[in-house]
Amino acid sequence: MSNNDQESNKQKLWGGRFTGETDPLMNLYNASLPYDKIMYHVDLEGTKVYTAGLEKIGLLTKQELAKIHQGLEQIDAEWANGTFVINQATDEDIHTANERRLGEIIGRNIAGKVHTGRSRNDQVATDMRLYCRDILTKKLIPFLRNFINVIISRAREEINILMPGYTHLQRAQPIRWSHWLSSYATYFTEDYLRLTQVLERLNKSPLGAGALAGHPYGIDREFLSKNLGFAEPIGNSLTAVSDRDFVIEIMFWSSLFMNHISRFSEDLIIYSTAEFGFISLSDAYSTGSSLMPQKKNPDSLELLRGKSGRVFGEMCGFMMSMKSIPSTYNKDMQEDKEPLFDCMTTVEHSILIATGVISTLKVNKEKMEASLTMDMLATDLADYLVRKGVPFRETHHISGECVASAEKLGLSGIDKLSLDQFKGIDARFNEDVFNVFNFEQSVERRDAIGGTARSAVLKQLGNLENKLQ
């Protein structure tokens, strides 16, 4: 084994035990720096607080701590401005890279004290929580809140537009376009609230748990937790180093959110077809065909729909990695970063694209309202008789007879039946039956909580805005 190889192994955090050369492929297979280097800042912040904790219990002097912090700030600047030079032989992960560089800046004697009592097990668990907290608080939560507010704003502005509501992709009853918007704003607000709960659970500190058994020098874990902005230390050192439930929760949350985004996208894709023509996407979120010049494809929405499968697959894959490993830290857990990072980036971009789509699309009010047909008021016809004291099960049957009779007579809708024809089906029909055939009135009758009447929709939107506070 060459001197260079020996020196390389010494610089690895685990290298003192080993004298043999590592297979070069194993070095590549083991390395995580290509993807975990994005955590450089939180790794340095964690080390700042940890070394302050060491100084607090007398394991570092104030002068040593000052030098360490100065060195850490220089490393942070190097990463930020792109001048950090990676040592391919020794820098297997962000923790090794930062500590190696710190030794070059302030000397290895002082830098060698930084890891006292700390393991990469509690270090990486801390970094992961800090990084996820940053992404959730600085990106996902505010981006999602803005997305929901854009939907709510559009719903308020376009509350007068009526459209068909669908079940089984068949026209069912008239609703407000704003009611449709509010339905997805409701899904996404529940996602928003769930994400704040995930944030609350992940915001706990593993630092000071050591490799698995705890800290041998009595470090103040409450001090570490507080100074890193965590709510509290994790109460069991075995759990602290091995818990990845927060990773799974973020990926599960992402899968559920992307499921909602996928359904949202599918509706808009359908509504944008020539057969529907309810909406038109902005050119910024559409593409053309390489062959057919007339085409305007909803690629943004199709990608949103497609990436939901990607996110769900990442969650499933990591769940399979975690399901059978024994307690505390195992190297399998290194498989958390790539799917998690990709998952969070995919969700971040998806929120931003969805926000752009919904804020720029155009609504074809005339096409939406032209798609309303009188057969959609068959339930209103049944309700008309209910208000006269007829049991609903009976009125449902009578209304069905009216629909069948209009079809048999070749009429364009049930509103074209004459009063005599209505009375021929049921004598309790009177002249006021024709008041039923008004889409606006149909919508306005549904004014109970959650309904599609103007007042009900505005109440929904107000409630959602309150939840977002």
**Active-site residue set:** 168, 289
H-only helix segments in 82-176: 94-106, 108-111, 120-135, 141-157
How big, in percent rounded to 5, are the helix, strand and coil portions of the chain?
Answer: 65, 5, 30
Distance CA 358, CA 203 (A): 33
- State the amino acid at position 159 in one-letter form: I
Per the CB < 8 A criterion, the answer to whether 203 and 137 are in contact is no
| Residue that is written with structure tokens 């048999």 in the block | 408
User: Which SS3 state, helix, strand or coil, does residue 418 take?
Assistant: coil
Instruction: Give the Å distances, CA to CA, from 174 to 179, 375, 426, 440.
Output: 10, 10, 25, 8
Nearest to 450 by CA among 440, 441, 459, 462: 459
Give, in degrees to the nearest 5, the angle at Cα 421 between 418 and 427.
115
Instruction: Give the Å distances, CA to CA, from 66 to 72, 75, 111, 219.
Output: 10, 14, 12, 19
The DSSP letter of residue 86 is P
How many CA atoms lie less than 13 Å away from 295 in the CB half-sphere?
10
Distance CA 274, CA 161 (A): 19
Per the CB < 8 A criterion, the answer to whether 328 and 238 are in contact is yes
Q: Which two tokens stand for residue 264?
A: 């949202």
Give the CA-trace dihedral at 60, 66, 70, 76, to 10 degrees.
Answer: 50
